Amino acid sequence: MQRLEGVAILLCAVRVLIVEDETKVAKALREGLEAEHYEVRVASTGEEGFFLVHHESFDLVVLDLMLPRRDGLEVLTTLRKRGLQTPVLILTAKDTVDDRVHGLDSGADDYLIKPFAFPELLARIRALLRRGRPDQILKLQQDDLAMDLVTRKVVRAGESLELTVREFEMLEYLLRHAGHVVSREMLARDVWRVTARATPLDNVIDVTIARLRRKIDDPFATKLLHTVRGVGFALRSERG
Amino acid sequence: MRVLAPSVRARLTLWHAGVLALVICIFSAGILLFVRARLYRALDQQIGDDLATIEKVYREETGDLGELAHRMGITRFQVVEGGTILYQTPGWPPAGTTPYRLGTLADASHRITAARDETALRQTLWTLAVILAMGVPCAIGLAIGGGYFLAGRMLSPVGAMAETARRITAASLTKRLPVEHPQDEFGQLATVFNDTLSRLEAAFAQLRRFTADASHELRTPLTAIRSVGEVALQRSLSAPGYREVIGSMLEEVDRLTRLVESLLTLTRGESGRIQPTLEIVNLSGLAVSVVEHLRVLAEEKEQSLAIDVAAEVSAKCDPAILRLGLINVLDNAIKYTPGRGTIRVGVRETSSGEAAIEVEDTGLGISAVHHGRIFERFYRVDQGRSRESGGTGLGLATARWAVEANGGRIELESEEGKGSLFRIVLSTLAREPLVGT
């Protein structure tokens, strides 16, 4: 299944425009996205981004708000006024509620606050590209681990597993992002639904991961839940 | 250009002198009018007596009017009967430079007019006026001088205070104003000023400590990132080795991010830029949800985490902020209670009608010397151990802000070795929250 998706992406490469003036960040984003088989163009000023959007077609724009000469929000507002439909993800260091509301009002589809975790950026991009397509998944699967979202049963190698509500939600989230790294911030926000980033949740997340691992991995030879040190967790086959 | 405002001393003197001048002028005018009226009344009385005598002589014809005139000396008069002048003293009517006052007594048959010299009277009045006219400016002058002197005397503490205050800077906040008479207005002012200085000094000291602590806390992960990176560059590692190094660096980045995040929240909160949205919150429900949230941590340490919710207790507060506060308090309790310890979370109404959320543990306890500062940012009872356990050192500071932003207070009862009791006390009534202190 992984492989099929990869082929599909290669056949019609998804084009992403990154508008970011910080060279290091832009380079990291380009390399990271290219590793995920996206076709990436980088603009380092608002003007350049504006020009590229007009002359080429993109499936997604990642827009930094603090740009030299031409402010990101201004670029976005102008683009939306001219009828641009492409989803736009804004990157910003301003994280007050007002800033976020302002950004979304100007026509952004999503926002990410700097410093962000790269896996999270990937997840947001995937979500934005998926948008509009019906998401009627009733079953999730990774190797011999299967989750039924209707009966809320989890089975590995034919063996039924007892999970707490939180463990179930966490596994569901990991399965939905199977093959990709999930950061602690993503888990805190999407599984625990804690928006205040100052909340001490990391220990809770680590303990829950450890317990989940005890249930889904410890009795089995193949390990599925992996810790990516310093980044987060990933659910994937050991070889991947 | 702004017109220079006169000094308080000058203004005080001017007001004082002005009021005094007004009073003296009114008073002098009163005296002058009163004396004038009295003198004229006396003169008129004399003229009346003269008229009566003249009439008596005229009616009884017992005497000669001429002799009467002679005997009465200075008195001048005229008697007219039926249109003809019966008698008049020589030099009638009085004319010339000498002022006279006239009096008349008349009936159908005759009319008697008498006059008296009023030079003496006018002179008396004039003398009085001169005395007053010379006295008033002297009195006002004296008032100005005296007032200026007195105002200077009274205001001298202000000058001294200003001089001392001018010499106080951020570096010399230990200086205090002298308080001579603590009861009078200036004494009170100086006391208030000194209190402000004390608070400022404490705030500055806290800020200095905070800056030192913050730079230390921020440098620790930075140092780790740097040394891990530098050491890794000097060696040739395998791909998994580099992975390990980068992971280790990212862990420190994560720590830095968390630290900055917490500091930002706290700074924004304390400067009042996070406005609480107040609503009626069921504290019991909130406590239960927070306990369930952190239960895994207690279970992992085999601690018993009990929740003791007597009845439904509600308070008006911002649930998200209060939740953040309670999570930090409970997280702290779990962290500093050894394995197999007991933690109890209770929600109740106090005897004084306030709502209280208590977090009691059988942990290490906090010695009384730390009680005053335990809620300060980066304050740690045991430097090494606390950082080892992964805390940012901002948990309790965040908790205190979260509670105070909701108009409540956070209390600590603890003895070393006997566990701690943190109590979040909130008003059950709708009271204005105190944002920032």
Q: What is the mean pLDDT of chain A?
A: 85
- The confidence score (pLDDT) of residue B359 equals 95
Q: Does a structural domain hold residue A225?
A: yes
- Residue A23 and residue A98 share a domain: yes
Kindly tell me if the per-residue pLDDT of B398 is higher than 80. Answer: yes
Q: Are residues A174 and A120 in the same domain?
A: no
Domain finish residue from A111, A130, A149: A130
Asked whether the predicted pLDDT for residue A85 surpasses 90, the reply is: no
Domain-embedded: residue A231: yes
pLDDT at A224 over 80: yes
CA dihedral for B262, B267, B269, B274, sign (positive or negative): negative
Residue of A nearest to B295 (CA): A204
Residue A1 lies in a domain: no
Q: What is the pLDDT of residue A2?
A: 45
Contact between B257 and A115 using a beta-carbon 8 Å cutoff: yes
Residue B390 to residue A203, Cβ atoms within 8 A? yes
Best probe of the A interface among B228, B300, B334, by most A CBs < 10 A, is B300
Asked if the structure places residue A24 within a domain, the reply is yes
The pLDDT of B212-217, averaged and rounded, is: 85
- Indicate if A100 and A180 belong to the same structural domain: no
Task: Identify the pLDDT of residue B137.
Answer: 87
Chain segment B90-133, per-residue pLDDT in tens: 777 777 777 888 888 888 788 888 888 888 889 999 999 999 98
Is the model's pLDDT at B384 over the cut of 60? Answer: no
B331 to A200: CB separation less than 8 angstroms, yes or no:
yes
d(CA B112, CA B80): 6
> Between chains, do A199 and B327 touch, taking CB under 8 Å as contact?
yes
Domain presence at residue A109: yes
- Considering the domain architecture, whether residues A219 and A178 belong to the same structural domain is answered as yes
Q: Which residues of chain A are within 8 Å of residue B296 when distances are taken between CB atoms?
A: 166, 204, 207-208, 211
Asked if A229 and B297 come within 8 Å (Cβ–Cβ), the reply is no
Residue B9's pLDDT is what? 84
Instruction: Specify whether A146 is located in the same domain as A59.
Output: no
* Confidence check: pLDDT of B186 > 90: no
Of B296, B318, B322, B392, which to mutate for an interface test with A (greatest number of A Cβ within 10 Å)? B296
Count of A-B CB contacts under 8 Å: 64
| CB proximity A25 to B under 8 Å | no
Query: Inter-chain contact B247–A230, Cβ cutoff 8 Å?
Result: yes
The residue that leads in pLDDT, B58 or B423, is: B423
Q: What pLDDT score was predicted for residue B437?
A: 41
Is B243's CB within 8 Å of A229's CB?
yes
Look at residues A82, A106, A130 and tell me which one is the last residue of a structural domain: A130
Instruction: Considering only the C-alpha atoms of chain A, give the largest distance between any 2 of them, rounded to a whole number of Å.
Output: 60
What whole-number distance in Å separates Cα of residue A98 and Cα of residue A100?
5
Flag whether the ipTM exceeds 0.90: no
- Please tell me whether residue A185 adopts helix, strand or coil conformation: helix
> Do A125 and A181 belong together in one domain?
no
Contacts of B324 in chain A (CB under 8 A): 196, 198-199
Determine, for residues A230 and B258 on separate chains, whether the beta-carbon distance falls below 8 Å: no
Of the CA atoms within 13 Å of residue A8, those in its CB half-sphere come to: 5
Check pLDDT > 60 for residue A8. Answer: no
Shortest alpha-carbon distance between residue B328 and chain A (Å): 7
Out of B253, B300, B328, the one facing A200 most closely (by C-beta) is B328
pLDDT in tens, A160-199: 999 999 999 999 999 999 989 999 888 988 898 887 767 7
CB contact under 8 A, B261 and A204: no
Q: Using CB atoms, which residue from B247, B251, B261 is nearest to A198?
A: B261
Q: Indicate the angle between helix axes B239-270 and B185-234, nearest 10 degrees.
A: 170
Please check whether residue A3 lies inside any domain of the structure: no
Q: Give the one of B243, B251, B296 whose C-beta lies nearest to A208's C-beta.
A: B296
Q: Are B213 and B266 spatial neighbours (Cβ–Cβ below 8 Å)?
A: no
| Tens-digit pLDDT profile for residues A110-130 | 888 888 888 899 999 998 988
End residue of a domain, out of A130, A148, A171: A130
SS3 of chain B: the string is CCCCCCCHHHHHHHHHHHHHHHHHHHHHHHHHHHHHHHHHHHHHHHHHHHHHHHHHHHHHCCCCHHHHHHHHCCCEEEEEECCEEEEECCCCCCCCCCCEEEEEEECCCEEEEEEEECHHHHHHHHHHHHHHHHHHHHHHHHHHHHHHHHHHHHHHHHHHHHHHHHHCCHHHCCCCCCCCCCCCHHHHHHHHHHHHHHHHHHHHHHHHHHHHHHHHHHHHHHHHHHHHHHHHHHCCCCHHHHHHHHHHHHHHHHHHHHHHHHHHHHHHHHCCCCCCCCEEEEHHHHHHHHHHHHHHHHHHCCCEEEEEECCCCEEEECHHHHHHHHHHHHHHHHHCCCCCCEEEEEEEECCCCEEEEEEEECCCCCCHHHHCCCCCCCCCCCHHHHHHCCCCCCHHHHHHHHHHHCCCEEEEEECCCCCEEEEEEEECCCCCCCCCC
At residue A215, does pLDDT exceed 90?
A: yes
In a shared domain, residues A119 and A152: no
The pLDDT score that the predictor gives to residue B305 is 93
Question: Given a cut of 60, is residue A4 above it in pLDDT?
Answer: no
Nearest chain B residue to A200 by CA: give it: B328
Residue for token digits 């003398």? B127
- Domain residue limits at A183: 139-235
- Tell me, what CATH number does A218's domain have? 1.10.10.10
Domains of chain B: 1-167 (no CATH), 185-270 (1.10.287.130), 279-427 (3.30.565.10)
- Residue B51 pLDDT: 85
A173 φ, ψ (degrees, to nearest 5): -65, -45
Number of domains comprising chain A = 2
Q: Which of A115, A166, A203 sits opposite B297 (nearest CB)?
A: A203
Residues A126 and A151 in one domain: no
Shared domain check, A147 and A99: no
Same domain (yes/no): A86, A195:
no
A77 pLDDT more than 50 = yes
Q: Kindly report the backbone phi and psi dihedral angles of residue B434, in degrees, each rounded to the nearest multiple of 5, phi listed first.
A: -100, 110
Q: What percent of chain A has pLDDT over 90?
A: 37
CB contact under 8 A, B293 and A192: yes
Question: What integer is the mean pLDDT of A4-14?
Answer: 55
Q: Cβ of B251 and A229 within 8 Å? A: yes
Q: Please say if the pLDDT value at position B358 is more than 90.
A: yes
Residue A69: CATH number of its domain: 3.40.50.2300
Distance from CA of A123 to the nearest CA of B (A): 19
- Which of A186, A203, A228 to substitute to test the interface with B, most B CBs within 10 Å? A203
For residue A7, pLDDT over 60 is answered with: no
Please write the tens of the pLDDT for every residue from B10-37.
Answer: 888 888 888 988 999 999 999 999 999 9
Closest CB to B261 among A184, A192, A197: A197
- Contact flag B247-A229 (C-beta cutoff 8 Å): yes
Q: B74-83, B294-303, B366-375 — which one is most confidently predicted on average?
A: B294-303
Contact (CB<8Å) A202/B390 = yes
What's residue A9's pLDDT? Answer: 45
Question: Is residue A2 in some structural domain?
Answer: no
Question: Do A169 and A110 fall into the same domain?
Answer: no
Smallest CA–CA separation between A231 and chain B, in Å?
7
Residues of B at the A interface (Cβ-Cβ below 8 Å)? 243-244, 246-251, 253-254, 257-258, 261-262, 264-266, 268, 273, 293-294, 296-297, 300, 320, 324, 327-328, 331, 390-392, 394-395, 398
CA dihedral B284→B287→B289→B294, nearest 10 degrees, is -160
Buried b (16+ CB within 10 A) or exposed e, B97-109: eeebbebebeeee
> What's the mean per-residue pLDDT of chain B?
84
pTM for this prediction: 0.67
Whether A4 is covered by a domain: the verdict is: no
Distance between CA atoms of residues B35 and B29, nearest Å: 10
Q: Which pLDDT score is estimated for B4? A: 56
Judge if A152 and A212 occupy the same domain: yes
pLDDT average, residue stretch B321-342:
91
Q: What residue ranges in chain A does DSSP mark as E strands?
A: 15-19, 39-43, 60-64, 88-92, 110-113, 139-142, 145-148, 153-156, 159-161, 181-183, 225-228, 232-235
